[in-house]
Amino acid sequence: MRVRTSHLRRTAWSALSLTLLAGCATEREAAPPPLAPNRVVVDLSNETIDALAERVAAQVAAQVAAQAAPQPGSVAGIEVGNAGPRNEAGRPTATVAGRAVAPALRASPPPGVFVKPPHVEASAAIAEATAAVDAACEWLVAHQSEDGGWHPDTFTTRCPGVPCEGRGASAYAPGVTGLAVTALLRATPTFEANPRRDAILAGLRYLRGLQDSEGCIGPRISSHFQYNHACASLALVEAAARGAGASADIRESAQHAVDFVLRSQNPYLGWRYGVRDGDNDTSMTCWMVRVLAAARDAGLRVDDNAWRGALAWVDKMTEPEFGRVGYQRRGGPTARPIETLERFPPELSEAMTAAGLLVREVCGQTVADNEFARKGADLVLSRPPTWDVEHGTNDFYYWELGTDALRRADAPRWAVWRSALHGAVTLRQHREDSHAHGSWDALDAWSNEGGRLYATATLCLALENVVSTR
């Protein structure tokens, strides 16, 4: 095994190419296969081209060295140049192509490096997502509790034999129930045609039973009670839109829940954990905007000032050069529970940028006509879903938000994100013959809270975006 740098020419901002040839016993093979479609687009915004070339070369060399039995042409060549398109800041981007390069970089992309996922045809992505959604819904129904709710801590009571793994915290039952009901509702175009009507109605009864006199769903004992309320409200609103159950009752509960969302908003800004207490964050604001958008679609009453306040908060949190949206600080990192901060580093996620983009889109801004929506979409796309627990990239909450945001962006960006989602989510679902069939392992930044129920409902919701675009 040897790695040889056969050609290296450097001129600042002029064409530079770097070719690595992986020598191996099968060099006699006359012609290596053509370059694979794995093309790695490298954003050179933050470093010189020389530094980048050295780093890419080192990574590829390490990857080749790690291969026990390299295939001919497995490292066919790398080209780094400035002939490619320019990014939003007018800086050059470069393309790295090579069969073995993309996997190496994808596992742990350096900051600023965008590893484009292998393309998956839309028809294949949709067909497999459809099957995955169906399996996920079956698993969810099999883990519903007798009271109609989904309980992160006790969902395994009906598991035969070895129970499913991945318990979460009991406090999130209202929110996780909301996610599960919404996932079941969205799996079928109409409520009448939904084969899981009974489970949905039981879930809705459970949620309505938790609603207090002000419309808030779930007890206000946890500091995160507004997440419970938002997720539960979304289920009620979407059920109302579909005329589920005794629709007058459902609509009344849904409107009551929406009224509590409106009452909780800070004047001219967003939301956080309290009721109009002056505290705001991008995550909670995005979730409340999702509820209000669904309410608008369902014909429920929504105050137009709500959109203006949410947009004002997102604008305040948007850093203008690259469009990154912060959690509570302009351009700052996304949020993480303290216990998973090291295992799932926040810098590997663009969750808040996705949340900000989604707020902009719901409020009518598009990547075609809004600079910050466009920059945000590109930043989100630079962190596509990648299932890699070792490197800490798993963030199901982010992937679901990003999916909702990117499907609204435009077709080219959506195609790239959908391909990544296919590899990271569809292909990671448990499909073996076990009770976990149809679920996903609770392995991400938020799984300590919501457990396997959260993981499965959230990723099912993400895939439903793929199915609904057929």
Per-residue x/- marks for Zn ion, 389-428, CB under 5 A?
----------------------------------------
- Which CB, 217 or 460, lies closer to Zn ion? 460
Regarding 437 and contact with Zn ion (CB under 5 A), the answer is no
- Which CB, 125 or 141, lies closer to Zn ion? 141
From the CB of 195, what's the least distance to Zn ion, in Å?
20
Spatial distance between the Cα atoms of 459 and 180, rounded to a whole number of angstroms: 11
From the CB of 155, what's the least distance to Zn ion, in Å?
8
From the CB of 144, what's the least distance to Zn ion, in Å?
11
- Which CB, 375 or 435, lies closer to Zn ion? 435
- Which CB, 391 or 437, lies closer to Zn ion? 437
From the CB of 209, what's the least distance to Zn ion, in Å?
25
- Which CB, 100 or 141, lies closer to Zn ion? 141
What number of CA atoms fall less than 13 Å from residue 374's CA on the CB side?
A: 9
Helix axes 371-381, 396-407, angle to 10 degrees: 130
Residue type, 330: R
- Which CB, 143 or 251, lies closer to Zn ion? 143
What length does the chain have? Answer: 470
User: How many C-beta atoms surround the C-beta of residue 448 within 10 A?
Assistant: 18
From the CB of 143, what's the least distance to Zn ion, in Å?
6
Residue type, 283: S
Assigned token pair, 416: 């790239």
- Which CB, 374 or 435, lies closer to Zn ion? 435
Q: For 114, list phi and psi in degrees, rounded to 5.
A: -105, 115
Question: Of the listed pieces 54-62, 116-124, 287-295, 434-442, which binds Zn ion according to CB under 5 A?
Answer: 434-442
Spatial distance between the Cα atoms of 161 and 139, rounded to a whole number of angstroms: 15
Residues 6+ apart with CB under 8 A from 332: 317, 326, 352
Question: Of the listed pieces 26-34, 245-253, 395-403, 433-441, which binds Zn ion according to CB under 5 A?
Answer: 433-441
Provide DSSP, 289-334.
HHHHHHHHHHT----THHHHHHHHHHHHHB-TTT--B-SSSTT-PP
Question: Of the listed pieces 17-25, 261-269, 367-375, 430-438, which binds Zn ion according to CB under 5 A?
Answer: 430-438
From the CB of 220, what's the least distance to Zn ion, in Å?
31
From the CB of 140, what's the least distance to Zn ion, in Å?
11
Q: Are 331 and 319 in contact (CB under 8 A)?
A: yes
- Which CB, 8 or 159, lies closer to Zn ion? 159
Per-residue x/- marks for Zn ion, 127-166, CB under 5 A?
--------------------------------x----x--
DSSP bridge partners of 211: 217
From the CB of 163, what's the least distance to Zn ion, in Å?
6
Spatial distance between the Cα atoms of 95 and 86, rounded to a whole number of angstroms: 11
Q: Are 380 and 405 in contact (CB under 8 A)?
A: yes
- Which CB, 50 or 138, lies closer to Zn ion? 138
- Which CB, 56 or 164, lies closer to Zn ion? 164
Please, what is the end-to-end C-alpha distance for the chain in angstroms? 47
Q: How far is CA 359 from CA 48, 287, 331, in A?
A: 35, 9, 16
Per rule CB under 5 A, count of chain residues that contact Zn ion: 3
Spatial distance between the Cα atoms of 157 and 60, rounded to a whole number of angstroms: 48
With H, G, I as helix, E, B as strand and everything else as coil, classify residue 183.
helix
- DSSP letter at 348 equals G
Question: Of the listed pieces 23-31, 85-93, 435-443, 448-456, which binds Zn ion according to CB under 5 A?
Answer: 435-443
From the CB of 164, what's the least distance to Zn ion, in Å?
3
From the CB of 236, what's the least distance to Zn ion, in Å?
27
From the CB of 433, what's the least distance to Zn ion, in Å?
13
Q: What angle do CA 170, 213, 286 make, to 5 degrees?
A: 60
Residues 6+ apart with CB under 8 A from 252: none
Regarding 435 and contact with Zn ion (CB under 5 A), the answer is yes
- Which CB, 242 or 435, lies closer to Zn ion? 435
Interface ranges with Zn ion (CB under 5 A): 159, 164, 435
